[in-house]
Amino acid sequence: MKRIYLITPNILTKKFYSFLPKVLASKKVKFLQLRCKSYSRSKIDIHLKKMLTITKRHNVKLIINDDSFFIKKYKNTGFHLGQKDLMKKDNISNLNKNNCFGITCHNSISLAKKALKFKPRYIAFGAFYPTKTKQVKYIAKKDILKKAKKFKTKVVAIGGITNKNYKELIKNGADYIAISGFIWKNKQFNPVQAIKLFK
């Protein structure tokens, strides 16, 4: 089973694109999330076209962070929404079972129950460990994964995940583990070496 939900760096460089096909060739990645918060929609559009040729080749679903705008234009894409993004009218209109999307639920089962009404493909909890990828406002405990298993929706664990702690999250009920910094900003391993550390 492909367990990894891979998140891009905030800035997409030539180096990123040189490694991306090799990383996806590992056959460990189920989803790739394009997460570039400072990029305009027109800039994201350029990168989407580029990425889709790579993700399709490796049978990886491309997810756009915070925005459902592109799903009508690009069939093989999905989107991920934070709690604030759920309030936006454009996003609400795209929340239907035919679309592939996920919703952030932080460290809350009650948020998860509300999210499930939209019938997402997955719900995400975290952060489970300290991370430098984004500012952490919510800390999740591993037992929330066990509680979430009673839902029929897939569960993503996020936040500071490395090759040393990911098995614990899977053991507690995570279907997928979201990783970014360990792959793209690892000072010890290049991205291809880093992805291979997840068995």
Can you read off the two tokens belonging to residue 162?
A: 């490395």
User: What's the pLDDT at 132?
Assistant: 77
One DSSP character per residue, 163-198 reads TTTHHHHHHTT-SEEEESHHHHS-SSS-HHHHHTT-
pLDDT tier for residue 186 given thresholds of 50, 70 and 90: very high
Say if residue 134's pLDDT is above 80.
no
16: Cα separation from own chain's centroid: 17
The answer to whether 162 and 133 are in contact (CB under 8 A) is no
10/19 Cα distance (integer angstroms): 15
Residue 72: DSSP 8-state: G
Least reliable range by pLDDT among 3-7, 43-47, 136-140:
136-140
Q: What is the pLDDT of residues 162-172, one digit of tens each?
A: 999 999 999 99
